Chains A and B, each alone.
Chain A
Amino acid sequence: MSLARAAAIILSKELRAEFRTRELLNTTVVFVVMVIVLFSFTFDPSSAESRRFGPGLLWLAFLFAGSLMLHPSFAREQANDTLSALRMAPIEPFAILAGKVLANFLFLLLAELLLLPLFAVLYNVHVVPVLGRLLLVFVLGTLGLTTVGTVFSAVAAQARMRELLLPLLLLPALAPVLIASAETTAGLLGDPPRLDPNWLAILVAFDVVFLTAAWLFGEYLLEE
């Protein structure tokens, strides 16, 4: 079976499992809404300030949400040792990882897109004129986040205190994604909107480097 087909089957399994309950999507969306609301309590920003801090806050919330929602990706397979069953399937081990990365990417991106209109209203920013470019930033940033996040979810699944460990492993590693995504988003929501190619290049570099690393080294994490 080809890698793409095997990964697609894993992806469809993950999507089916998620959309039966929508657990991840619901909790992620509510979590990010809470962060956005609580932020205004702690900093009491004026409308100009909230426009300035908004993009950074939004990405910080996505990062926290990601570091929490990516944990079940491998931990869920442990309850009934379904990961062993997946490993026994006659497919490349990387297909398991790729399918999970894709599924997590879609979940988080979907949550982000659901949250975008709310963010635009609460933080008083104009997203419609730059929607296409904003989507590009969201896709690149989320891909980097979920690639590293899924691999580290497999790392943390083998440790004690894994719920706590995953954010600790993930947050420092994702610093470049946070900076680059927040800066590009801030640039797009500024007046006049501009897309800085340097930041975009960092996002692309991050995605390429870690997708390659996941392809080269990820399968070691799936060994018995």
Chain B
Amino acid sequence: MSARTHSVPTFGVAALVALAGYSALFLAPTERTMGLIQRIFYFHVPSAWTGFVAFFIVCVASVAYLLKRAPKWDWLAVSAAEVGVAYFTAVLVTGPIWAKPVWGIWWTWDARLTSTFVLWLLYVSYLLLRTLVSDSERRAMVSAVFGIFAFLDVPLVYLSIWFWRTQHPQPVIGGGGLDPRMWPVFLVCWAALLGVMVLLLRQRYLLEALRHQVQEMAMEAQMGDQSESFENKQVVRAKGAQ
């Protein structure tokens, strides 16, 4: 991975992020009732959608690991889980910033907010599980199974909110409520956040690969040490015999 092949996508994503920021702040029309604070929507909702993509990658990589047993799928799964948790942290932080002026409260135990929180906790516990298993193959195996179960849980967690009253402004997307001029801005912002996700994922994946390499080298060095000291002893013994 030379720095040159690296830089083209990085600059592309940086340009996209700049465009997204500009269009969300200046090009998008100001919402009539909520005013300027509504612009956080261009960061809040695409972050959630990107987070879902990341968690979907966790599930796909986990299934692939169980089928193929190649460590690279485990590296991808942990990378995507960390990136997804980061995005959902952004969702959980930007939500209250928006809610305070609009609803008058930072947080409410509304069903959608609660289930997003639950989703975040689910993947935090995935990362926690990984820290508590030392053997790398065993860790890959159990976290793959947990990663699949967690993803299967996502629709059920969200389904259970549809039968609960909610004060979240949910009919805005898909309900035809979004101003047609807002859509292009929204999509540019989502593309930018997806681009950032791919870059983060790639960096994190390479880091995991390096860690794996370091671990293997450390093990080889240890084994080398042992055999060396064994040889030394043999030499000493041989000398003693003479």
Contact = CB atoms under 8 A, between A and B. Distances in A.
Interface residues of A, number: 34
Interface stretch (B2-10, B49-57, B99-107, B117-125): B117-125
Interface residues of B, number: 29
Contacts of B108: none
Interface of A: 148, 151-152, 155-156, 158-162, 165, 168-169, 172-173, 175-176, 179-180, 183, 196, 198-199, 202, 205-206, 209-210, 213, 217-218, 220-221, 223
B146 A198 contact: no
Contacts, number: 82
Interface stretch (B36-44, B133-141, B170-178, B196-204): B133-141
Contacts of B128: 165, 168
Nearest to A173: B153
B90 interface: no
Contacts of B142: 155, 158-159, 221
A213 B148 contact: yes
Nearest to B132: A159
A202 B157 CA distance: 10
Counting chain B CB atoms within 10 Å of each CB, which of A148, A159, A183, A206 scores highest? A159
Contacts of B159: 176, 202, 205
Contacts of A162: 132
B68 to A, nearest CB: 12
Nearest to A174: B153
A57 B119 CA distance: 22
A127 to B, nearest CB: 24
A172 B125 contact: yes
The 3 closest A-B pairs by CB, nearest first: A159-B132, A172-B121, A176-B156
A160 B139 CA distance: 11
Contacts of A220: 66, 141, 144-145
Contacts of B119: 172
B150 interface: yes
A152 B144 CA distance: 12
B160 interface: yes
B57 to A, nearest CB: 17
Contact of A152 (B118, B146, B156, B164): B146
A173 B132 contact: no
Contacts of A183: 163
Nearest to B128: A168
